[in-house]
Structure 1
Amino acid sequence: MSSQFLVVGAGLAGASAAWRLTERGCSVTLVERDVPASAQGSSHGSARIFRYAYPERTYVDLVAASEPGWAELEARHGAALVIRCGALDFGARRDPHGLAAVLAAAGVEHELVPREQARERWPHVAVDTDVLHHAAGGVLDAETTVRTMVAAARAGGAEVLTGWPLQRLERTGAGFTAHAADGRTLSAGRVVVSAGGWLPDLLGDLPLPAGFLAAFPRLEVREENAFHFPYRDAGADWPALIHEDEDLSVYALPGGRDAGFRGQKVAEFNGGRVLPSAAARTGVVDPANRARVVDHVRRFLPGLEPEPYAETTCLFTSTPTEDFVVDGAEGVTVLSPCSGHGAKFAPLLGEVAADVALGTGSVPERFRVGVARG
């Protein structure tokens, strides 16, 4: 089987790249080591935070630029993929006033709510500073988004192969031969690799220039822990939220169908153990991490019962600056929008990856390999 493009990885980023490439008239084969939105990757489940609040204008503008893609996907799906329940940011290290200034400059509707007023408005959240609230924030359904993009890619003519783990990529003539772990092969003119937490194992087996590989930012894979805490009052108005105090950074959001719509999903950002790659994932929750999150819930989320009724692990893959990588050389594009915050950009990142792979359009310089990151 031969195609113009082979896309490796059917998570949020890879599915988006396959969809956008088919929109541009390219023949595409999309391969996934398991199944699209697999629980073994980073794009499963129904609950990811959608937010505009960033300390840097670049990402705020990229969220805004993703909105037409979300509207397009929701029209294809026939229902909302992003639930706009609002988002809160608070805590001394979170700097809600600084975030508000960035949103104001970008023209994003928001409000700064004084601490005491915020406690009255959201009595189930014990805020410890003034609060940034923006109504456009909420929760996105990652799994359904992936399935919608894969269906769109198929509708555009893409071949989708599951149970196809790429082991190495070989340059052959004017294109490439992809080798699966079981000996199967595929050929393609160009390749987009979006392998998430599996990328550290795979990167050295891609035919990329030595300089590109040497400049590639270090990837850190973590096995994060997520906990679902039951609501004390099921009728309370629960937004998504990020709280950063002197001790740790915690995010919380309505858990959706992941745990029966019964509670809030709460996790410590970058609190899980570091792995060499996704292949080392254990699925075992860290009891010390659980204890920290339970203590945080007890102190700052009084609207929740401080005992999780469900828990799981998930994969985060980050660069040192938390910037994405969307870059390539000599026919191979690497798409790594990880860093624990890439989901909200999914429909846009496929467009950016297609631009890089086809040599059209532009990509933020900070996503290029070799650009100073610090």
Structure 2
Amino acid sequence: MKTKYDVIVIGGGSIGLATANELGKRKASTLVLEKYRFLNQDGSSAGYSRQFRIPYPEEYMVKMAVEALPYWKELEAETGEKLLDTVGTLWFGDPSVHSTEGNIGEAEKSLQKQKVKYTALSAAEVEKQYHFKNLPVTYKGLFQPDGAIIDLALTLKTLLSLNKKHESVTLQENSPVTDIQYKDKVFYITTPHGKYEAEKLVLTPGPYINDVLNLLGFDINVTYWEMSSAYFKKLKPEIQYPTWFVFQNPKGDNGNQFYGFPGVDWDYPGYIRVAPDFVIKPLTDPNQRTGKPNPQELAFTAEWVKKYMEGLSPEPEFTSTCLIALSNIKDKELVLDFAPDNVEGYENIVIYGTGWAAKFIPLLGKIMSQLTLDGSTPYDIAPFQLGYKYFNAIVQQ
């Protein structure tokens, strides 16, 4: 195995593999280093499904989601795989609530400004059309038809397969990075398998972001959520749900925010996945993850399903977790940036740091590859270039 590359990608999850695929298309000699095995269940790429949705309270996020959709279609066409199941996105609930997902009214305004089609709904219309029940009459909703459920497991397999076809891409798993040095415009990377060199780095280690940034002398202010999911059996097979979020005020430990998916044949057929969009106790370190859902979070979820959803068994039969790093800033923005300028070689270190980004996977791969090889991208990423605010130098003792 050779040791010198144009680019080394640290982190072989969805964003790292999407970036490597784009680098491979441009014939850049690329090494992808994955801490665990590829397709693992230890980070933010764990699980089977994610939501693709266009509603956001920020207009620039709506624009980015719209821009991402053609890249999904391109990836599907290139591979012959169906990665998105288009079922629409339903947002409903208390119109006054501002949650980690945003606010319904602000999302409507952003959709209107970007000329994205949607339908406004009353609580009664949400119940009649989408199989919910007992909703407060004051609840409002919106339905956006381009929303979809992402087959995340197949997306990862597809990207891994594409990278294996690129002669210029080398994939290495079980390779945690233990040291990064910079000398004469070259990065020297150490792993248990050996040492490697490259002029450019891409950092996409998911929730283990600070394990890598610490090697460069800085970190990012984050919190870690080990998020729970539950699968409820369909008692009425004909019932189908879109992807959805409900906006409600917290009640004590119950964050009272939930989201869900349709039933699909590749993610527990005959079941509906519903998850709490909150954690009762965030982690301070990703290595604190247990792989076990919080029982209280699952109980709150089951209680909500029983009261407000039709055609489902009231108790979950299957569960799962996913670990994610979220920046400690309002609205949990994505952080996509170069390293801070006090780090040697910063202009050749591209970082994707935090946030929920599955819906942007192929677009982020394109953007990250452009930043890496060209030093810029035609896409407007200014709202995500937040490193100057949230990267922190580590003070040596």
Quote the Cα distance in structure 1 between the aligned partners of 2:179 and 2:308: 47
Q: Deviations over 1:218-270 (max 9, x none)?
A: 11111111111111211112111000111221111135456522211111113
DSSP 3-state at the match of 1:273: coil
Change (3 A) 1:353 1:303: same
Indicate yes or no: 2:241 matched with 1:238. Answer: yes
Of the three residues 303, 318, 334, the one matched with 1:324 is 334
Higher alpha-carbon deviation: 164-173 or 306-315 = 164-173
Q: How does 1:1-374 map to 2 (within 5 A)?
A: 1-92=3-94, 93=97, 95-128=103-136, 129-157=139-167, 158-180=169-191, 182=192, 184-206=194-216, 213=218, 217-247=220-250, 248-254=256-262, 256=264, 259-271=267-279, 273-319=281-327, 320-321=329-330, 322-329=332-339, 330=345, 331-336=348-353, 338-339=354-355, 341-358=356-373, 359-362=375-378, 363-371=380-388
Cα deviation code 1:133-183 (max 9, x no counterpart): 111102001121122222223333211111111222221332112112x35
Give the partner amino acid of 1:342: A
Task: Pick closer, same or farther for the CA change 1:10–1:88 going to 2, 3 Å.
Answer: same
CA offset digits 1:33-87 (Å, max 9, x no partner): 2223311111133210111110011111001111121011101221320100111
Conserved 8 A contact 2:47-2:322? no
Contact 2:47–2:320 (8 Å) recurs in 1: no
| One-letter amino acid of the structure 2 residue matched with residue 306 of structure 1 | P
What per-residue deviation string (whole Å, max 9, x for no partner) do you get for residues 318-350 of structure 1? 1123111211242222112x32x2100001111
Post-superposition offset of 1:371 = 4.9
Q: Determine the C-alpha separation between the residues in 2 that align with 1:116 and 1:285.
A: 33
Cα RMSD after superposing both structures: 2.0
Change (3 A) 1:127 1:342: farther
Cα contact 1:224–1:272 (8 A) shared by 2: no
Give the 3 Å change call, closer, same or farther, for CA 328–370 of structure 1 in structure 2.
Answer: closer
Percent identity over the alignment? 23
Letter in 1 for 2:174: G
Residue 26 of structure 1: how far off its partner (Å): 1.1
Give yes or no for contact 1:326–1:352 (8 Å, CA) kept in 2. no
- Counterpart Cα distance in 2 of 1:42 and 1:153: 20
Q: Kindly indicate whether the alpha-carbon contact (under 8 Å) linking 1:81 and 1:140 is maintained by their aligned counterparts in 2.
A: yes
Q: Which has the larger displacement, 96-105 or 228-237?
A: 96-105
Q: How many residues align?
A: 363
Does the 8 A contact of 2:7 with 2:200 survive in 1?
A: yes
Q: Secondary structure at the match of 2:261?
A: strand
TM-score under structure 2 normalisation? 0.86
Q: Structure 2: how far apart are the matches of 1:325 and 1:25?
A: 27
Partner SS, residue 279 of structure 1: helix
The Cα of 1:372 is off from its aligned counterpart by 5.3
AA aligned opposite 1:9: G
Structure 2: runs of 5+ lacking an equivalent? 251-255, 340-344, 391-397
Residues 77-130 of structure 1 show CA distances to partners (whole Å, capped at 9, x for unaligned) of: 213201001111011126434322221211212101222122111234554412
Aligned partner letter, 2:160: V
Equivalent residues of 1:89, 1:243 under 8 A apart: yes
Q: Deviation at 1:365?
A: 1.4
User: Unaligned stretches of 5+ in structure 1?
Assistant: none
Inter-partner Cα distance in structure 2 for 1:150 and 1:2? 21
1:9 and 1:32 in contact (8 A); partners too:
yes
Secondary structure of 1:276's aligned partner: coil
Secondary structure, in 3 states, of the residue corresponding to 2:269? coil
> Is contact 1:365–1:371 with CA below 8 Å preserved after alignment?
no
- C-alpha distance in structure 2 between counterparts of 1:36 and 1:81, whole Å: 19
Retained in 2: the 8 A contact 1:100–1:111?
Answer: no
Q: TM-score of the superposition, structure 1-length normalised?
A: 0.91
Runs (4 or more) in structure 1 with deviation over 6 Å come to none
